[in-house]
Amino acid sequence: MRRMDNRGDFIQRLGLDISINILNLLEDPSDLVRACAVSHSWSRFVIENSLCKQLCLKLFPELSSVTQVIEVENLIEPVKFSAGGSPEWERLKRDNRVYAFFAQGLTPLIKKDCIIEPISASSTDNYPDERIQNTLEPEDRIGYRASYWSSKGESDPNVPEILTYKLVAQLCVVTEIQVQPFQAYFQYGFPIYSSKAVRFRLGYSRHSLELDDDTREGMLIHHQWSDDDFIWTYTSPEFPVAQENKLQKFKLPEAVLCIGGILQVELLGRVQKQEMDGLYYICVSHVQVVGRPLSSPFDIDMLDSSGKWTLKYNPETLCCQSSTQLPEGEVDTPSRVRTFTTRLLQLLGNGPVGNNELDQEPPVL
Amino acid sequence: MANGENQNPNPNPIEATPGAAARTITLKTADGEIFEVEEAVAMEFGTVKSFFEDDAVSATKPMPLPNVSGSALSRVITYCRRSLEIRSMIPPATSEDATAAEAVQGEGDLEAEKAAKQERKEFEAEFLKDESNEDVKELILAANYLNIKELLDFLCRSVALRIQNKSVEYARKFFGIEGDYTPEEEAQIRQEYAWAFEGVDED
């Protein structure tokens, strides 16, 4: 029996559809989080109806291809759950938390410059004039010189080249990668040193890339990685490259969640010989990554090399690396690091799927 | 409208369309108010529409609306009436194989559509301006009961706007809910999602 007075929980009186409609119209994930804080029943309502996930997909439609990754991680694994909870409920609760953080943490506008720095090139000609850093320069020239990277020459056109980059955030949704081959306007015939095709890999490094300056510089000039240096969570199809001096856009068939922030650009097959020495080269003037990075004060940290990551919120951090949990009640250290562990990555065929820690208190890393 | 049956003390008296022999439908609210509404307007109410479509129910017998108060119904009628007016500003769409002349007519339609949109925006902004949260809630319940989709959508949007960026306490008051978290539970939520509780509007 409906009552006409205004007492009683509005959501219950309105019924499911209208209540969902209203809460679905909220565009800020903070509003949904606060809705959860209103009461147990509201929290249950938000969680059961996956409202945070729906908001996430509304704000970032490209995430729809990525939710599989996130949800695979929230699989019902042997996990400790609170009394009275069912595995399905625990999964929904975890989804709620992950999507709330994502909705808040992902950059609202798509960024066109998601690479922060180069890591290595398989080879470089004329270092430092033709180094990999040039591919990140927005201009076509630096001073009097053209800005581009060049590989060393090879007589075999099938020798590939690999450029490795670090993305601006450890967690980034990548939608498109752009590459511009270089045209040598100072050579007869204006040759364009494109590759035949290009392929991209996204993933993370197994070992720390914090190295001394000399080693780092060495890698930027000439470095071959071994197979187990990286874990590649995504390998794109091969895209044909046109022999044109244009910024060519390679849209990934689906948006990809890059966890770990490493991009590799594989340049496959050489097409252009340099007249002077009769060797095949590959030259690139620009590389850009389009996507949505997880923005500060959110970040992720690799917990261990099995692919466990911690999603962190630290409002104090715009530069510091602190990830330890500070004791509560500490007045003079206002940093509020809040963490929760969600295994964002499943290593298919790379070992047993481990326990997912549903931490009740943040771990000390 | 001077009508012996109308005991409506409502400050917005219903006026019949001058000169037209408009069919009216009589509605009776929970608090006993009688409303005579033009048929076109009343048919905007899904509930009323199906009531009169069901069988040859006499249109002169007042239809009871036990879940709607007089004040709410009056506002609802105002909304639907205005909404109909705005919709009539848009001429019916031209057919696909329109001639050039009709295509120009089509452009005029686009203008009319834009004008109508603007009217609707202004009207909707005004409509709820002075309504309290309680009134808005009552309107939602009425619109829900009467099954008026357009009004309901509008009201839902308005509620979302009203509660966005507001504090948890505000939401509790608005919806008439007692918070039932323990202080520890509440503290934990606020810590874990600290970002969600920053920059909230003052109540």
pLDDT of residue A114: 95
pLDDT at B1: 37
Q: B89 or B34: whose pLDDT is higher?
A: B34
SS3 string of chain A? Answer: CCCCCCCCCHHHHHCHHHHHHHHHCCCCHHHHHHHHHHCHHHHHHHHHCCHHHHHHHHHCHHHHHCHHHHHHHCCCCCCCCCCCCCHHHHHHHHHHHHHHHHHHHECCCCECCCEEEEEEECCCCCCCCCCHHHHHCCCCEECCEECCEECCCECCCCCCEEEEEEECCCEEEEEEEEEEECECCCCCCCCECCEEEEEEEEEEECCCCCCCHHHHHHHHHCCCCCCCCEEEEEECCCEECCCCCCCEEEEEEEEEEEECCEEEEEEEEECEECCCCCCEECEEEEEEEEEEEECCCEEEEEEECCCEEEEEECCCCCCCCCCCCCCCCCCCCCCCCEEEEECCCCCCCCCCCCCCCCCCCCCCC
Quick check: ipTM above 0.90? no
B122-154 confidence digits (pLDDT tens): 888 888 888 888 888 889 889 989 999 999 999
Between helices A16-24 and B149-163, what is the axis angle to 10°? 50
Q: Can you give the pLDDT at residue B104?
A: 60
pLDDT band (50, 70, 90) for residue A198: very high
pLDDT at res. A359: 34
pLDDT band at A266 (very low <50, low <70, confident <90, very high): very high
Does residue B113 register a pLDDT over 50?
Answer: yes
Backbone φ and ψ of A161, nearest 5° = -130, 150
> Sorting pLDDT into bands at 50, 70 and 90, what band is A317?
low
pLDDT, average across residues A228-242: 93
| CA distance to partner chain A, nearest, from residue B92 (Å) | 30
Q: Is A286 exposed, middle or buried (0-12, 13-18, 19+ CB in 10 A)?
A: buried
Query: Do the beta carbons of residue A237 and residue A253 sit within 8 Å?
Result: yes
Q: Residue A136: what are its φ and ψ, rounded to 5°?
A: -100, -5
Question: Is A92 in contact with A52 (CB distance < 8 Å)?
Answer: no
User: pLDDT band for position A51 (50/70/90)?
Assistant: very high
Q: Do B177 and A39 touch (CB under 8 A)?
A: yes
| Percent with pLDDT over 70 in chain B | 78
Picking from A2, A25, A46 by the largest number of B CB atoms within 10 A of its own CB, the best residue to mutate is: A25
Q: How confident is the model at residue B91 (pLDDT cuts 50, 70, 90)?
A: confident
Interface with A, mutate which of B31, B192, B201 (most A CBs under 10 A): B192
State which residue of chain B sits closest to A21, comparing Cα positions. Answer: B156
Task: Please indicate whether, in this complex, the C-beta atoms of A6 and B138 are within 8 angstroms of each other.
Answer: yes
Cβ proximity of A179 and A242 under 8 Å: no
Q: Which residue has the higher pLDDT, A179 or B135?
A: A179
Greater pLDDT, A75 or B37:
B37
Residue B199: band (very low, low, confident or very high) from pLDDT cuts 50, 70, 90: confident
- Residue A2 pLDDT class (50, 70, 90 cuts): very low
Which pLDDT does position A10 carry in this prediction?
A: 63
pTM for this prediction: 0.70
Residue of A nearest to B135 (CA): A6
pLDDT at A268: 97
Question: Which tens digit of pLDDT belongs to each residue from A131-173?
Answer: 999 999 999 998 889 999 999 999 999 999 999 999 999 889 9
Nearest CB neighbour to A11, from listed B157, B175, B200: B175
For B1-13, write each residue's pLDDT tens digit.
Answer: 344 444 445 454 4
- Interchain contact A7–B (C-beta under 8 A): yes
| pLDDT (average), residues B165-173 | 90
Kindly report the average pLDDT of chain A as a whole number.
80
Chain A with chain B: Cβ pairs closer than 8 A: 107
Q: Which pLDDT does position B15 carry in this prediction?
A: 47
Upstream peptide bond of A297 is cis (omega within 30 degrees of 0): yes
